[in-house]
Amino acid sequence: MKKLILALVTSLTAAAGAQQAGEGWVDLFNGETLAGWTTSGDINAWGVEGDELVIKNPGRGWWLRTDKTYRDFELLLDFNVSEGANSGLGLRGSAHGDPAFTGFEVQIYDNHGDDPSLNTCGAVYNAIAPTTTAVKPAGQWNSYRVKLIGDTLNVWLNGQHIQRDQKLDDRGMFRNANQPLPLSDRYPTGYISLQDHGQPVRYRNIRIKDLSPDPDASNFKPLFDGKTTKGWFAKGGGTWTVGQREVEGGAVIGSNGPGHLFSEKTYQDFELRAFAKVNTRGNSGLYFRTIPRPEDPDTWPLGYEAQVDQHDPKNFTGCVYDRAWPAHTSSPITRDNAWFDYRIRAVGDRVQTWINGVPMVDTSLEDFEKGHFALQTHHQGNQVMYRDVRVRVID
């Protein structure tokens, strides 16, 4: 009987492995190098030992993140925490700022035997406690399976379903309950990342099936360094600063206005991805193939404007201002004070936009062939944030 059970388990394991090897599954970690990963910390704090991804110099590595962003996906990962160690699996996080709060963190923690809470292993950190504490004692390998589709999260730890159909809703806080930070207001798309919290942790068998409606095509280049507005110039009113805190870190913040921040470089055919957020009654625009108006460079530019506005009944977020509108919706799918994912593609006279993976505009526009990018702050009292603005030039 024991031999029969062992054979059955072996067969099922082999079948599961074969399934994971196909059907869209790919390795996020190749078991040999850090290819496909980067960090805003010290990359040398991370390394590879055997077939394991390890924190070699704890406390210096910050978050190790994927080169690509992901919205909807299924993820497999094994981890091994040392005694008392703390780490985290960041989902839909940013390149700058703290991914635990720009996106969210599924906690990795040595707390075997503890009661479930908002910071025990398997918790959505500071937001949702797991149903049970399924982590093994320190030094043993654990397995995560995570499935994230839209606003619905499922997590299994060592085969136990510890987060079941959890909604990314108004739960969540920053450091304490007096600092609410709803999950629904955070990035809807972002990087997958691993946290260096200052203690040794080991990872292996990191695999993903990308289920995103508009997958990241990779090969994007950042247009901001996350610290300054170097490579950009301002015209008109308003002020432009760069956020320094964990939640706003790396965000380019436009206040008051009207005014515009232009890229020094010009672009013709491209794909651009950015995350944006405006305050209550906020208004902005992401201009492309644009130039400062020759007769008055401090006024509205010449070019195309991908609109950012949740209140204009005609020109709302995802429209190309006064030129193109979605065929499938007559109202915005975004809202004030919440981050959203903007994707713009312009090749020849074909212009397309997407919001949070949803196609918005697909049209032909022939007026402008080449120009700058520009970010807009629209009026007094306005505040707009842009972060992780990236471009991929199309030859």
Q: Provide the CATH number for the domain around residue 102.
A: 2.60.120.560
169, 188, 210 — which closes off a domain?
Answer: 210
Residue 183 DSSP one-character state: G
Q: How many domains does the chain have?
A: 2
| Residues in contact with 12: Cβ distance below 8 Å, sequence separation at least 6, in sequence order | none
Q: Is 216 within the bounds of a domain?
A: no
Q: Are 90 and 99 in contact (CB under 8 A)?
A: yes
pLDDT in tens, the chain (395 residues): 444 433 443 344 434 444 455 689 999 999 999 999 999 999 999 999 999 999 999 999 999 999 999 999 999 999 999 999 999 999 999 999 999 999 999 999 999 999 999 999 999 999 999 999 999 999 999 999 999 999 999 999 999 999 999 999 999 999 999 999 999 999 999 999 999 999 999 999 999 999 999 999 999 999 999 999 999 999 999 999 999 999 999 999 999 999 999 999 999 999 999 999 999 999 999 999 999 999 999 999 999 999 999 999 999 999 999 999 999 999 999 999 999 999 999 999 999 999 999 999 999 999 999 999 999 999 999 999 999 999 999 98
159, 191, 210 — which closes off a domain?
Answer: 210
Residue 164 and residue 276 in one domain: no
210, 243, 276 — which closes off a domain?
Answer: 210
Q: Are 270 and 368 in contact (CB under 8 A)?
A: no
How large is the C-alpha radius of gyration of the chain?
A: 22
Q: Is 49 within the bounds of a domain?
A: yes
Residue 142 and residue 164 in one domain: yes
Residue 191 and residue 248 in one domain: no
Range of the domain at 163: 22-210
Residue 242 and residue 179 in one domain: no
| Residues in contact with 306: Cβ distance below 8 Å, sequence separation at least 6, in sequence order | 285, 286, 287, 288, 318, 319, 320, 321, 342, 344, 353
Q: Is 4 within the bounds of a domain?
A: no
